[in-house]
């Protein structure tokens, strides 16, 4: 890479000119800003202490040295302590020739290491997926793609939270008021049907609390002693005791949910290498907790509940097993972590879970360490920010949750309507049109979410539907379709553009900008992997598409009379198109040949 060559040469220059070594972080090379002449810029200020000369003179001496010692550097200019270097056309041309046909440009070689396990999605089986899950799924999937592209083996795993008090609530409500409704006879998607009973439970339970409080109970007393809550708790106990009737009901309702969720996953284009179920891991968790209790890592209170004392670590006591013997979230997470370690021996264990659970993961890591699990250090909580609505957080009780299926439906209709208004899919068959609308609607949704830094809270306005113009997925998809159109035409015209073009090719301004962006791609993919950030890829893809559209308007491609120029432009277009396609693939977004 040219940046590294420049940095190394600066070090050599300083040594030869001023007879001193400088620390490795002092020499800074950055891209020259658009408004100045040159390609890369050396900031001279930090070097003055070493050179013991004025800014201008130091810059001048360095500039001369760079030109004299690097064939890649053809010239320089100095503005206010910034040394701008111009890179030779030959360098860009060599880069182009070497990489233009590579199908794996921007991906990195497979390293022989243990796999990275990426856990994401992690739904509960008591309600359908919503917008928050969508962000989780998209980030998880994309990060897995990015790591894989970076040469790491990746296992995508899902942990389904299929047991617990919340599931029992849906079950209790269905038993009481379900009238034997099921997805078939009610024609309601299974995950939604179960979710409806969860909401119903909450409603009825609230009514009961209100009436208890009217009878003089405090709010806490009332919340803990409603008949509905007691029934749910009993059901959880029965479930853990393996009462067959309860298990049957549980299986039945969970299967409704799975079928519904699978449909949603399929629409999002998401799948897993392995699915873990809490119902299958919590016992291992319990076992580990009991071992910890025996070895004195944990302690038991008089009521029988088991705790971990984290006060030495500046945290509170943490409950691990309830007084009635049932397990909590933390219990099963300990088991799942162990199971996953046994299954994969991962080099890194990434949990894609919202930042509201930061505390939970701090505690999980601490507890695992206390249990003597050295691999606890391999756990990394990829904590992403909440998705908020313009008027605040989504709240299921207030009916402001944006349902995943509804949102996807809406996006599809918007894609269809927009396409119809533009009226350019007349020769598409029904199947082709459907495929295109799916691609565009999911592209718009995925890009909208992934372009935002995962760490940050983001705002989604369900009233203004997601845009299809500007900094959007469809804009990038459109650019790809445009490029493919040129390639198709060049094939029709039987242009053999894979010819050698002359080395003295004189680049257009925008051609250099495009080459620089393309040149930067491998570095971007590395950074994205290192920082687990799809947003870097999304922003890159947008920059590239924008640059290409400007280029497209500035120059003619197929109608260029100079064969040499024309061939280069076609190839550059194809290179750009391939790069758009592969970067979008890292986001889990497909791009169309035509739109």
| Contacting RNA within 247-286 (CB under 7 A) | 278
- Region from 142-150, 176-184, 199-207, 320-328 binding RNA, contact rule CB under 7 A: 320-328
The H-assigned helical ranges of 150-270 are 165-177, 183-186, 190-214, 219-224, 227-240, 244-268
* Calpha distance 41→56 (Å, rounded): 14
- Region from 109-117, 499-507, 552-560, 583-591 binding RNA, contact rule CB under 7 A: 552-560
* Calpha distance 77→231 (Å, rounded): 79
Q: Which of 217, 277, 329, 428 binds RNA (CB under 7 A)?
A: 329
| 54 part of the interface to RNA, by CB under 7 A | no
* Tokens 């989504």, residue located: 394
Q: Which of 80, 494, 500, 506 binds RNA (CB under 7 A)?
A: 80
Closest approach of Cβ 329 to RNA, in Å? Answer: 4
Closest approach of Cβ 141 to RNA, in Å? Answer: 18
| 413 part of the interface to RNA, by CB under 7 A | no
Closest to RNA by CB, 410 vs 467, is 467
| 521 part of the interface to RNA, by CB under 7 A | no
Closest approach of Cβ 388 to RNA, in Å? Answer: 8
| 125 part of the interface to RNA, by CB under 7 A | no
Q: Which of 82, 239, 250, 384 binds RNA (CB under 7 A)?
A: 82
| 557 part of the interface to RNA, by CB under 7 A | yes
| 424 part of the interface to RNA, by CB under 7 A | yes
| 242 part of the interface to RNA, by CB under 7 A | no
| 565 part of the interface to RNA, by CB under 7 A | no
- CB-CB contact of 254 with 183 (8 Å): no
- CB-CB contact of 365 with 350 (8 Å): no
Q: What is the footprint of RNA within residues 334-393 (CB under 7 A)?
A: 355-360, 385-386, 390, 392-393
485's tokens: 């159109």
* Calpha distance 557→509 (Å, rounded): 15
| 492 part of the interface to RNA, by CB under 7 A | no
Closest to RNA by CB, 129 vs 154, is 129
Closest approach of Cβ 208 to RNA, in Å? Answer: 16
State the chain's maximal CA–CA distance in angstroms: 92
Q: Is the dihedral of CA 337, 343, 349, 352 positive or negative?
A: negative
Closest to RNA by CB, 93 vs 439, is 439
Output the CA–CA distances (angstroms, integers) from residue 153 to 138, 274, 346, in the order listed. 19, 14, 10
Q: Which of 74, 88, 89, 550 binds RNA (CB under 7 A)?
A: 550
Residue 165 backbone dihedrals phi, psi, to 5 degrees: -65, -35
Residue 245 half-sphere exposure, CB side, CA atoms within 13 Å?
A: 5
| 293 part of the interface to RNA, by CB under 7 A | no
- Region from 186-194, 242-250, 367-375, 455-463 binding RNA, contact rule CB under 7 A: 455-463
The DSSP symbol for 38 reads S
Q: Which of 36, 101, 255, 271 binds RNA (CB under 7 A)?
A: 36
Cβ-based burial of 468 (10 A; exposed 0-12, middle 13-18, buried ≥19): buried
425's tokens: 């899919």
Sheet bearing 317-321, strands edge to edge: 299-300, 306-309, 317-321
Q: Which of 22, 165, 243, 275 binds RNA (CB under 7 A)?
A: 165
Q: Which of 474, 534, 577, 588 binds RNA (CB under 7 A)?
A: 474
Q: Which of 1, 263, 266, 459 binds RNA (CB under 7 A)?
A: 459
Number of residues that bind RNA (CB under 7 A): 95
Query: First CA to last CA across the chain, in angstroms?
Result: 36
Residue 316 half-sphere exposure, CB side, CA atoms within 13 Å?
A: 5
Closest to RNA by CB, 4 vs 179, is 4
| 594 part of the interface to RNA, by CB under 7 A | yes
């Amino acid at each position: 890479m040219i940046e590294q060559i420049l940095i190394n040469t600066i070090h050599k220059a300083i040594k030869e000119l001023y007879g001193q070594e400088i620390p490795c972080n002092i020499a800074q090379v950055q891209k020259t800003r658009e408004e100045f002449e040159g390609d890369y810029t050396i900031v001279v200020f930090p070097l003055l202490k070493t050179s013991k000369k004025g800014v201008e003179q130091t810059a001048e001496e360095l500039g001369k040295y760079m030109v004299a010692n690097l064939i890649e550097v053809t010239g320089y200019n100095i503005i206010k302590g910034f040394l701008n270097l111009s890179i030779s056309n030959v360098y860009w041309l060599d880069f182009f020739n070497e990489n233009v046909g590579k199908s794996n440009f921007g991906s990195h070689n497979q390293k022989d290491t243990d796999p990275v396990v990426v856990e994401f999605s992690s739904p509960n089986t008591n309600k359908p997926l919503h917008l928050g899950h969508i962000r989780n799924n998209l980030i998880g999937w994309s990060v897995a793609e990015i790591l894989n592209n970076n040469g790491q083996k990746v296992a995508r795993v899902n942990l389904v939270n299929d047991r617990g008090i919340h599931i029992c609530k849906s079950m209790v409500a269905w038993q009481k008021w379900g009238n034997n409704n099921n997805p078939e006879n009610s024609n309601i998607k299974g995950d939604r049907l179960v979710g409806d009973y969860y909401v119903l439970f909450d409603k009825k339970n609230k009514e009961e609390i209100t009436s208890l409080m009217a009878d003089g109970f405090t709010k806490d007393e009332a919340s803990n002693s409603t008949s509905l809550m007691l029934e749910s708790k009993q059901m959880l106990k029965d479930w853990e005791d393996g009462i067959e009737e309860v298990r049957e009901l549980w299986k039945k309702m969970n299967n409704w949910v799975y079928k519904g969720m699978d449909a949603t996953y399929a629409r999002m284009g998401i799948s897993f290498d392995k699915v873990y179920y809490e119902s299958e891991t919590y016992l291992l968790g319990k076992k580990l907790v009991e071992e910890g209790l025996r070895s004195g890592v944990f302690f038991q209170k008089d009521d029988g509940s088991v705790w971990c004392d984290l006060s030495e670590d500046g945290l509170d006591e943490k409950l691990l097993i309830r007084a009635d013997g049932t397990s909590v979230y933390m219990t099963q997470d300990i088991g799942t972590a162990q199971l996953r370690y046994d299954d994969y021996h991962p080099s890194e264990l990434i949990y894609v879970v919202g930042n509201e659970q930061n505390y939970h993961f701090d505690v999980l890591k601490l507890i695992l360490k206390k249990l003597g699990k050295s691999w606890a250090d391999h756990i990394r909580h990829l904590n992403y920010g909440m998705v908020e609505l313009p008027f605040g957080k989504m709240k299921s009780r207030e009916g402001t949750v944006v349902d995943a299926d509804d949102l996807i439906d809406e996006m599809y209709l918007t894609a269809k309507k927009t396409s119809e208004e533009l009226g350019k899919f007349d020769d598409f068959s029904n199947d082709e049109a459907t495929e295109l609308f799916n691609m565009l609607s999911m592209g718009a949704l995925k890009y909208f979410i992934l372009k935002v830094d995962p760490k940050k809270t983001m705002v989604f306005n369900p009233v203004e539907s997601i845009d299809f113009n500007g900094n959007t997925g469809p804009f990038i998809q459109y650019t790809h379709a445009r490029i493919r159109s040129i390639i198709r035409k060049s094939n029709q015209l039987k242009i053999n553009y894979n010819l050698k073009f002359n080395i003295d090719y004189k680049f257009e301004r925008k051609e250099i900008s495009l080459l620089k962006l393309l040149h930067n791609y491998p570095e971007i993919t590395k950074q994205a992997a290192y920082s687990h950030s799809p947003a870097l890829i999304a922003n890159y893809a947008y920059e590239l598409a924008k640059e290409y559209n400007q280029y497209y308007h500035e120059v003619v491609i197929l109608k260029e009379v100079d064969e040499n120029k024309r061939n280069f432009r076609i190839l550059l277009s194809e290179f750009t198109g391939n790069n758009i396609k592969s970067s979008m693939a890292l986001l889990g977004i497909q791009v169309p040949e035509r739109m």
